[in-house]
Structure 1
Amino acid sequence: MSVGNVTRCGVAVALLAVSAAVSLALGPVPFTLQTLVLALLPVALGGRAAVTSVAVYLLLGAAGLPVFSGMQGGPGVLAGPTGGFLWGFLVGEALAALVVGEDAGAASGPRAWLAAGCVLVASYAAGTIQLMVVLGVGPAAALGSAVLPFVVPDLVKAAVGVTAGRRVRRALEAVPRAGVR
């Protein structure tokens, strides 16, 4: 991985942490801006860098750094009621990586939107399953409290993320790679 890619991944991890800090409690699952960043990453950086960024973010949180929503960290968050959404982020980015591949610039229209959809569906699925298991609730209760209230806002955030991701990608492609071999 080049210095430029390491730097981009570092910025992506920071964006994920900052987007988690913008948090509004709405029941068991908080409203954050992470969906926006998760939709942006594969379009702006390509698949491998997006997956790497989310994996590093989860490792930092698991190590106890307060990068998750509510300035939380530690393995308890990943094992708790909302931890499935965090695991779903990684699964979703891996699926998005399969859709966009390494050439994020090729993530045109349908591929970019499909990648964002993968992130949402994987996060919702993993989050709902873990919420059901940890809280001992049924599918209707889990979906009603942790997914349905978020669908419309998440679609808006994903659309903003895809649009911003394309702009970031164009900006990155315009930067000359002076002295980098």
Structure 2
Amino acid sequence: MNQSEKLRSLINCSIFAAITAILAQLEIPLPLVPISGQTLAVGMTAIVLGSRLGALSMVCYAAIGAAGLPVFAAFRGGMQVLVGPTGGYIIGFIATAYVTGLILEKTRFTIPMALVANTVGMLITLLFGTIQLKFVMDLEWGAALASGVYPFVIVGLIKAFLASWIGITVRKRLVQANLIADSEKGAA
């Protein structure tokens, strides 16, 4: 990868970290964990950037939030968010982006495969988030699932579909514009 491609990759990572920060502000408050647009952004990021760059973009997002910039849901930022009840979801975004992108790199960048990959990604995010929620809030597993998983399944599937459709559409256009690599075995 030459210097120009490296720079383009870093710019793309930054753009998708910013998109995640913007969509994080679209939220429906719930008692412990809000429904937000973050997971929609994570799915789109993984589709467009692939596993490595998608995960790097989510590392950037988590890092700028941890540094105190108000990029998490409800314009929150700081380490207290990452170690708090909702921090597991944010940490899970890194694994989610990597696995979602990897599934597509190993199969095909199509809407049906992106939907499968995003559904797997949703489960990864919910797993990370619920585990941290359970321990930080000292909840029984049933209460953790009731607060950290059940409210998000239906809306998560809707966001998985939207991320798949938007992500594949954006990816195709970026490939046509030569802004990302056209490779079924690895994005950007």
Cross-structure match for 1:145: 147
| TM-score for the superposition, normalised by structure 1 | 0.90
Q: Given residue 134 of structure 2, which amino acid in structure 1 is its aligned partner?
A: M
Secondary structure, aligned partner of 2:34: strand
Among residues 82, 86, 93, which one is paired with 1:89 in the alignment? Answer: 93
Q: Is structure 2 residue 78 aligned with structure 1 residue 74? A: yes
Post-superposition offset of 1:26:
0.9
Deviates more, 1:1-10 or 1:43-52: 1-10
Q: Is structure 2 residue 45 aligned with structure 1 residue 50? A: no
Q: Is structure 2 residue 45 aligned with structure 1 residue 36? A: no
Give unpaired runs (5+ residues) of structure 1.
none
Among residues 168, 171, 177, which one is paired with 1:169 in the alignment? Answer: 171
Secondary structure, aligned partner of 2:147: helix
Post-superposition offset of 1:176:
4.3
Name the count of aligned residue pairs: 175
Among residues 12, 17, 37, which one is paired with 2:16 in the alignment? Answer: 12
Give unpaired runs (5+ residues) of structure 2.
180-188
Q: Is structure 2 residue 120 aligned with structure 1 residue 118? A: yes
Separation of aligned partners in 2, 1:176 and 1:110 = 24
Specify whether residues 110 and 160 from structure 1 end up closer, same or farther in structure 2 by C-alpha distance, changes over 3 A only: closer
Percentage identity across aligned positions?
34
Q: Given residue 47 of structure 1, which amino acid in structure 2 is its aligned partner?
A: S
Q: Given residue 141 of structure 1, which amino acid in structure 2 is its aligned partner?
A: A
Separation of aligned partners in 2, 1:4 and 1:118 = 28
Deviations 1:18-45 (CA, angstroms, capped at 9, x unpaired):
0111122111001111121111112122
Deviations 1:122-180 (CA, angstroms, capped at 9, x unpaired):
11111111111011111111111221111101110110011000110111011146xxx
RMSD value, Cα: 1.7
Runs ≥4 in structure 1, deviation > 4 angstroms?
none
